[in-house]
Chain A
Amino acid sequence: MEIMAKHGAEVKLLVLPGLMLLAGIGAVSLAIGKIDSLVLGIAAALAVSFVAVHYLLMWIGRHGDPFLLPIASVLAAIGLIFVFRLKPELFIMQALWVWSGLIAFILAAAVGKRVESWADYKYIWGAVGLILLLVTALFGVEIGGNKNWLIIGPIHLQPSEFAKLFIVLFFAAYLSERRELLAYDTKKIGPLVVPHQRVLAPLLAVWGIAMLMLAIERDLGAAFLFFGTALLMLYMASGRYSYLIWGGGMFSMGAFAVYALYPHVRPRIDTWLNPWADPNGAAFQVVQSLFALGSGGVLGSGLGYGFPNLIPEVHTDFIFSAIGEEMGLLGSGAVLLLYITLVYRVFRIALVAKTVFNVILAGGLAALLGLQILVIVGGVTKFMPLTGVTLPFVSYGGSSMVGTFVLLGLVFALSEVGASDG
């Protein structure tokens, strides 16, 4: 009975993103003054797909949290509308990425049923994550300022989008196994607790990776995400604030060293501290982003009536600013609230999970998602230094789209495990 009610809610909510998408594409078409029937057809097919995913999940017998997929679909629909408005030539590709993401979601939800048993293979996950990152570090190609792309023939990949998930998986298994050690087998230096070396080892490894990413790939955002997520997961397992302080200190020191040694990291920090010192140079993107957000005001200029294309890379990292300009605070605030709701749901799933591994895994994925939102939305609004991170489900790009849908599929599976157990 409860399951049926959930299904009813989910299918009703999944009608919304399709309607939004069609309305948005229609509005942009009217603003441009020409209607592309292919684009409208694709939008209609996507609208059907959102609902179809629900029935596919029912068919394979998956009954997870009914809010995850609708929230992600609404965000994906907003992303599609804005990619069409900003770079119409990329709309079809973005539609393909959304379809790939939906399929990835179903697959992750299906295999995620056995997520408990994955803990046994933790070193494999850790190794895969590490290899993905190392390969990127060694063979990475620079696209749009970040040297975190892997090009294999026609395929452009950002492996870090997938490596994140493997590392979270590894940490969840590793930490749930060594929970007692972390919490109780400690020494003290003054008021701070020093962890045992067996805890320190993986933490140092992640720290090393993060610093490597910073130095080689210029990827401050990803480095912060990796390390921040690992640190928050360590706290979840241990409950010790000292680890947060240790970790924060290590990251700050490392980041400061990189800041001092590598000139390319410097402008990002300097422009954050004072963007108006060089508004047409190093701080151009941030300043343009602030102009877009400010010009949008409360109600925005209306879809197609603003000038978001004044911001470089607006369809990927800066798509949030474009939403803020054309939809105003109503649009950007709604998007941010959707993310807050999504992160809240994932944390809730962690809080009703039955095993330590499931709790830490769901909690870690929630932390990863929450930190990513903080980094990108905080970056384009000058809340914190700007770093090249995508806006999940919304930014143009395949790796991020598929990776984040896999994350959500895992969470969907975890929500079911938690619920059906009790």
Chain B
Amino acid sequence: MSFWDWCLPYRKLVQAMADEVKKNVRRIALGLLGVLVILFGYLSYIQVIEGEALAANSLNRRSAQSGMQIERGKILDRNGKVLAFSERQPDGQYVRRYPYGAVLAHVVGYSNSSYGNTGIESRFNRDLSGIKNPWRVLGPLANLWNSKAGNNVVTTIDAELQTIAYRALGNRRGAVVALNPKTGAILAMVSKPSFNPEDVDTEWKILVNDPESRLLNRAVQGLYPPGSTLKVMVAEAALREKVTDTKQLFTCEGTWKIGKDYELSESHHQAHGKVNLEDALAVSCNITFGKLTVQLGPKRFAEAFTRFGFDRPTGLEIGDAPSELPDFNRLSEGELAQTGIGQGSLLVTPLRMAMIAAAMANQGNIMTPYLVTEINAPDGSQMETYSGKLLLTATSPELAQIVSKMMVSVVDRGTGSAAGLGRGSVAGKTGTAENPHGEPHAWFIGFAPVDNPQIAVAVILENSGYGGAEAAPVARQIFAGALR
């Protein structure tokens, strides 16, 4: 028996004791490693599933930090005029400059590290910031595309026309939309009162609490009763549905009792006498259009709104407020007549009304309104281009032609004469929208030149009085500026 054999019982005992402890160690190992594996799962959850939200959290300063390190792209007008650019500071960071200041504040928007982005600055942020490539997906590879400067955005805006429109509004609250009816390109978009995007940091508190809502882009976010400008569409609907024709004579006695308690009256309280449809539009006869709307009935009236696209988004890049349409089937006859002359609960944006004028100017076709034509790399190479595309066909070329001719009469011999630039050159329609906030809103929609339309506009002046007296002269200045 060797020494080792003699030791065997003792070694076995040690072994047995160690084995028992090992059972416990194995349990601890499984438990601890199990918890670490759960931690691994949790880490994956944080980085992958929660990651998207954490990266986008407004308190996460990463995007603002990276934004200040690279030169943000320029925003240019259709002629290459600079609307926004980044200026390098001595500390190497960039500050955003807006040469047109308040004139283009709502369209161009602002880009601010504390308060975010608006307008084109917001919608095209990825292009402008140079982080167009979704770097979260590509990871480090995305750095290969990250340039020292963001891409430039070329807009459809005509800065000169914009300035003319901005000045034409004066100190009044209101909005102007001017677009090319054949393409949908927005030439000017003014909202007043405005603000200087460079002062957002210093005046933020005042701006967000402003009772006049200077930050609001009234041209696309402001909702107004369209007033008599809606009669353009009602005329089209009445002709299309054969409720009337161009020859029928209507009798206007100044007032019209509908049912028991509704009475429609003319704005100047005069009787228009015997008028055909063209005359009625020219003098903006409420009674004629009220009667036509009642004859159309809720169904065909509602269909007109659908044909002109009121129930769908316009597709404008910076977004716009959806129209507020009444529930046509529940309207009484009186309410129907009211809605037919653009009063009542119907609310629309100035952009929508400009698109109605544009439909008549463009043979019944409404183009998708758009603001951006090109995105160019800093070296000038084109990265993306956008052009006009058809949004919808609202009416036939023939009907558009007939209604246009009637709109010419509005300017040549009717309420819109202050918008004229010489006989037969401008088509339009005025509106004077009663509202609960005081004086009526003054409206004008129209287009010019009639034989080859280049520009369609909508002008609204809040609580300013009659459309023909207030809004039509503003439109005239814009037409003159566009056709200079």
Chain A neighbourhood of B57, CB < 8 A: 291, 294
* In the bound complex, CA of A324 to CA of B43 (Å): 9
Q: Is the CB of B21 within 8 A of A370?
A: no
Residue A332 interfacial (CB < 8 Å): yes
Q: Which of A176, A299, A378 contacts B139 (CB 8 A)?
A: A299
Q: Which residues of A contact B52 (CB under 8 A)?
A: 294, 297
Give, as a whole number of angstroms, the nearest-CB distance from A119 to chain B: 13
Segment at the interface with A among B30-38, B230-238, B268-276, B438-446:
B30-38
Measured CA separation A276–B369 after assembly (Å): 42
When chains A and B are docked, how far (Å) is the Cα of A373 from the Cα of B40?
Answer: 11
Which of A100-108, A231-239, A265-273 is the contact stretch? A231-239
Q: Which residues of A contact B14 (CB under 8 A)?
A: 354-356
State how many angstroms separate the Cβ of A379 from the closest Cβ of chain B. Answer: 11
- Interface flags for B127-169 (1: CB within 8 Å of A; 0: not) read 0000000011111111100100000000000000000000000
Q: A296-B51, A298-B48, A359-B22 are in contact. Are A377 and B28 (CB under 8 A)?
A: no
Query: In the bound complex, what is the Cα–Cα distance between A355 and B20 (angstroms)?
Result: 11
Known: A299-B138, A303-B140. A236 touches B21 (CB 8 A): yes
Chain A, Cβ-Cβ closest to B69: A307
The answer to whether A356 and B51 have CB atoms under 8 Å apart is no
Closest chain-A Cβ to B17's Cβ sits at a distance in Å of 5
Are A324 and B47 closer than 8 Å at their CB atoms?
yes
Q: Point out the residue from B20, B33, B135, B137 that lies within 8 Å of A340, measured CB to CB.
A: B33
Question: Does B46 have its Cβ within 8 Å of any Cβ on chain A?
Answer: yes
Q: Separation in Å of the B232 CB from the closest CB of chain A?
A: 52
A282-295 CB mask vs B (1 if < 8 Å, else 0) is: 00000100110111
Q: Which residues of A have CB within 8 Å of B20?
A: 239
Would you call A72 an interface residue if the criterion is a C-beta within 8 Å of the partner chain's C-beta atoms? no
For the complex formed, measure the closest distance between the CB of B269 and the CB atoms of chain A, giving whole angstroms: 63
- B-side interface residues, number (CB < 8 Å): 50
Residues of A within 8 A of B135 (CB): 301
Are the C-beta atoms of B26 and A351 separated by less than 8 Å? yes
Which A residue sits closest to B36, measured CB to CB?
A340
A295 to chain B, nearest CB (A): 4
Q: Which residues of B contact A300 (CB under 8 A)?
A: 139-140
Interface residues of A in 328-342 (CB under 8 A from B): 328-329, 332-333, 336-337, 339-340
> With a CB–CB cut-off of 8 A, which chain B residues contact A328?
47, 139
Number of interface residues of A (CB under 8 A): 61
Which of A36-44, A46-54, A85-93, A360-368 makes up part of the contact surface?
A360-368
Q: Which of B24, B42, B52, B136 has the most CB of A within 10 A?
A: B24
Instruction: Give the residues in chain B near A381, CB-CB below 8 Å.
Output: 39, 42-43, 46
B14 to chain A, nearest CB (A): 6
Given contacts A295-B51, A347-B25, A351-B22, whether A370 and B139 have CB atoms under 8 Å apart is no
Interchain nearest-CB distance for A276 vs B (Å): 9
Q: Is residue B54 within 8 Å, beta carbon to beta carbon, of the partner chain?
A: yes
A179 to B53, CA, bound (A): 52
In B33-80, the 8 Å CB interface with A consists of 33, 35-37, 39-40, 42-44, 46-48, 50-55, 57, 59-62, 65-66
Chain A residues touching B, majority SS: helix
Q: Which residue of B lies closest to A304 (CB)?
A: B143
Selected from A294, A302, A359, A383, the residue in CB contact (under 8 A) with B42 is A383
Q: How far is the CA of A121 from the CA of B53 in the complex (A)?
A: 55
Contact A299 B62 (CB under 8 A): no
User: Contact mask A340-355 → B, CB, 8 Å, 1/0?
Assistant: 1001100100110111
Report how far A347 CA is from B28 CA in the complex, Å.
9
**A321–chain B nearest beta-carbon distance, Å:** 10
Q: Which of B32, B43, B50 contacts A370 (CB 8 A)?
A: B32
| B 359-402 to A, binary, CB cutoff 8 A, 1 in contact else 0 | 00000000000000000000000000000000000000000000
Least CB separation from B146: chain A residue: A305
**A236-B21, A360-B21 known; A374-B36 Cβ under 8 A:** yes
Q: Does A310 contact B (CB under 8 A)?
A: yes
Establish whether residues A307 and B39, one from each chain, have CB atoms under 8 Å apart when the complex forms. Answer: no
Contacts of A355 in B (CB 8 A): 14, 18
In the complex the two chains form, is A239's CB within 8 Å of B51's CB?
no
- A197 interface residue per 8 A CB criterion: no
Give the docked Cα–Cα distance between A117 and B140 (Å): 53
Chain B neighbourhood of A14, CB < 8 A: none
Number of A-B residue pairs with CB-CB distance less than 8 Å in the complex they form: 180
Determine how close the nearest CB of chain A comes to the CB of B26; give it in whole angstroms: 6
Contact code string A225-244 (vs B, CB < 8 Å = 1, else 0): 00000001001111100000
Is A279 an interface residue, CB under 8 A from the partner? yes
Complex Cα spacing A153 to B444, Å: 84
Q: How far is the CA of A350 from the CA of B28 in the complex (A)?
A: 11
* Cβ of A417 under 8 Å from chain B: no
Instruction: State whether A329 and B44 are in contact (beta carbons under 8 Å apart), knowing that A291-B62, A295-B62 are contacts in the complex.
Output: yes
Q: Is B260 an interface residue (CB 8 A)?
A: no
User: Shortest beta-carbon distance, B30 to chain A, in Å?
Assistant: 9
Partner of B59, one of A287, A305, A359, A360: A287
Cross-chain contact A370 with B36 (CB below 8 angstroms): yes
Closest chain-A Cβ to B252's Cβ sits at a distance in Å of 65
Q: For A236, what are the chain B residues with a Cβ–Cβ distance below 8 Å?
A: 21, 24-25, 28
Instruction: Kindly state whether residue A214 has any CB partner on chain B within 8 Å.
Output: no
Partner of B47, one of A303, A329, A340, A353: A329
CB-based nearest B residue for A340: B36
Q: Are B48 and A378 in contact (CB under 8 A)?
A: no
B12 in the interface (beta carbon within 8 A): no
Shortest distance from the beta carbon of B102 to any chain A beta carbon, whole Å: 33
Judged by a CB distance under 8 angstroms, whether B208 is at the interface is: no
Considering the complex, which residues of chain A in the window 138-177 have a beta carbon less than 8 Å from any beta carbon of chain B? 176
B18 touches A279 (CB 8 A): no
What is the bound-complex CA distance between A340 and B41, given in angstroms?
13
Chain B's closest residue to A303 (CB) is B140
**A4 CB, nearest partner CB in chain B, Å:** 27
User: Are A307 and B66 within 8 A (Cβ)?
Assistant: yes
CB distance from A313 to the nearest CB of B (A): 17
B84 CB to closest chain A CB, in angstroms? 25
Contact of B21 among A179, A299, A324 (CB under 8 A): A179
A363, B43: Cα distance in complex, Å: 26
Interface centre among B37, B46, B48 (most CB of A within 10 A): B46
Contact A305 B143 (CB under 8 A): yes
A297 to B60, Cβ gap below 8 A?
A: no
B136 close to A367 (CB less than 8 A):
no
Q: How far is the CA of A293 from the CA of B141 in the complex (A)?
A: 18
Q: Given the known A-B contacts A294-B52, A329-B47, are A232 and B28 also in contact in the complex, defined by CB atoms under 8 Å? A: yes
Contact among B18, B59, B141, B143 for A280, CB-based, below 8 A: B59
State whether the Cβ of A371 lies closer than 8 Å to any Cβ in chain B: yes
Check B247 for interface membership: any CB of A closer than 8 A. no
| Nearest-neighbor residue (CB-CB) of B54 within chain A | A294
Question: Are A344 and B22 interface neighbours, CB within 8 A?
Answer: no
Knowing that A294-B52, A302-B141, A340-B33 touch, tell me 7 more A-B residue pairs with CB under 8 angstroms.
A297-B48, A301-B135, A303-B140, A332-B43, A356-B17, A356-B18, A383-B42
**Can you pick out 14 interface pairs between chain A and chain B where the beta carbons lie within 8 Å of each other?**
A232-B32, A236-B25, A290-B46, A291-B59, A293-B54, A296-B47, A297-B55, A301-B143, A307-B66, A328-B139, A332-B43, A343-B33, A356-B17, A377-B43
Interface residues, chain A, with chain B CB atoms under 8 Å away = 176, 179, 232, 235-239, 279-280, 287, 290-291, 293-303, 305-307, 310, 324, 328-329, 332-333, 336-337, 339-340, 343-344, 347, 350-351, 353-356, 358-360, 363, 366-367, 370-371, 373-374, 377-378, 381-383
Residues of chain B having any CB pair with chain A under 8 Å: 14-15, 17-18, 20-29, 32-33, 35-37, 39-40, 42-44, 46-48, 50-55, 57, 59-62, 65-66, 135-143, 146
- State the 7 A-B residue pairs at the shortest beta-carbon distance, nearest first: A299-B139, A294-B54, A302-B140, A347-B29, A294-B51, A363-B25, A329-B47
